Amino acid sequence: MRFSLIEFSGSLGDLGTFIPLTVAMSVVNGVDIASVLFFAGLFNILTGVLFGLPIPVQPMKAIAAVAIAEALLPGEIVAAGICTGAFMLILGMTGLTERIDTFVPKSVVRGIQLGVGLKLFIKGVSFIIESSLWGLDSVFGAVVMIGIVIVTSRMKRFPTALLLLFIGFAIVLVQSASTFSKMGIEILSLQIVVPSGAEWIQGVLYGTLPQIPLTLLNSVIAVCALSGDLFPGRRISTDRMATSVGIMNLIGCWFGAIPMCHGSGGLAGQYRFGARTGGSVVMLGVGKMLVGLFFGGSAIWLLTEYPMSVLGVMLLFAGIELARPATDQKKMEQIVVLVVTAIGILAVNTLVGFIAGLFVYSVVVLILKSPQK
């Protein structure tokens, strides 16, 4: 592992997803942001040490989306995370994820990477255009930052993401200096959260069921495939990844942490901005744990004010990096499967895209194998 400025800068490439979802769940659902930061940091450190690669720790997107839209209670969110974690742990410990992985064609995996990458790109663009046209946190400012990323990408050791982070804090300081006055020392106080019977049922129905296919496809199969693309010869097994997801949620959720996973988009973003070893996420984890331990809920004031244009730029480039491996699909039948999978993901969700791609792949294989008359 390496502990350098460029490694730390790279670790910040995942914040475009982490900050918006964490803040939204804190404001809407009342989750304890101090617990979220503490356990996200702890799992960042463990992940970096165990895998040796910049594998991210992100909120589970399906559970987060439903929780925010349906205003789920903290107990319901905890129940969803625990049940999802238990399911993933069983898959990983029994070796079922490896069997599922060998069953999924490479063109479908590439389609998942392309579809999720395009979703990140589109989300980044939406963050940017929702800002004002002119000013510091604006479309114009985002265009300038995009130019900075493009120019500095030619400088291999330049900490681009760290520069973007400081730009974001500078914008907060100029536009809302009073935000920093709300920050104060708040020592973390962990409490065990035990869902009620009704919360278990709601959590499984609204959170676990829609999350499982997304976790399996994007946070296990796709991220493992991407680890092999970015780090040849060091591809992480899907069983290890699924087991990691399971353990994280079976530990953290009992203490009020939000359900977490390892997303392929986060890995792409961190790699894009310079992360190459587990040391990157270890440093990020230490930072998250310190903020969670000593600043607690007061951190919400700073994160809420953080400029969306900066996060949008990070997401935009993370999406490009995630979609990049799809270019190795050259044959027409591979491209058809890839495109159908990606369209299904963009139009509906990851599960629908996966099923559509798998169906088209099966049809294409049957046609190619059928005897010629």
Model pLDDT for residues 98-150, shown as the tens digit of each residue = 999 988 899 999 999 999 899 989 989 999 999 889 888 999 999 999 999 99
Please give the average per-residue pLDDT across 339-354, as a whole number: 91
Mean pLDDT over 285-297 rounds to 90
Q: How far is it, in rounded angstroms, from Cα 263 to Cα 223?
A: 6
More confident residue, 103 or 40: 40
pTM, to two decimals: 0.88
d(CA 50, CA 28): 34
Tens-place pLDDT, residues 41-50: 999 999 999 9
What sign has the CA pseudo-torsion 356, 357, 360, 366?
Answer: negative
Length of the chain (residues):
373
pLDDT band of residue 304 (cuts 50, 70, 90) is confident
Does 373 score more than 60 pLDDT? no
DSSP string covering 192-245, please? -----HHHHHHHIIIIIHHHHHHIIIIIIIIHHHHHHHHSTT-PPPHHHHHHHH
Q: What is the pLDDT of residue 80?
A: 96
> Residue 181 pLDDT more than 80?
no
| Neighbouring residues of 103: CB distance < 8 A, sequence distance ≥ 6 | none
Q: Is the pLDDT of residue 372 over 60?
A: no
Q: How confident is the model at residue 292 (pLDDT cuts 50, 70, 90)?
A: very high
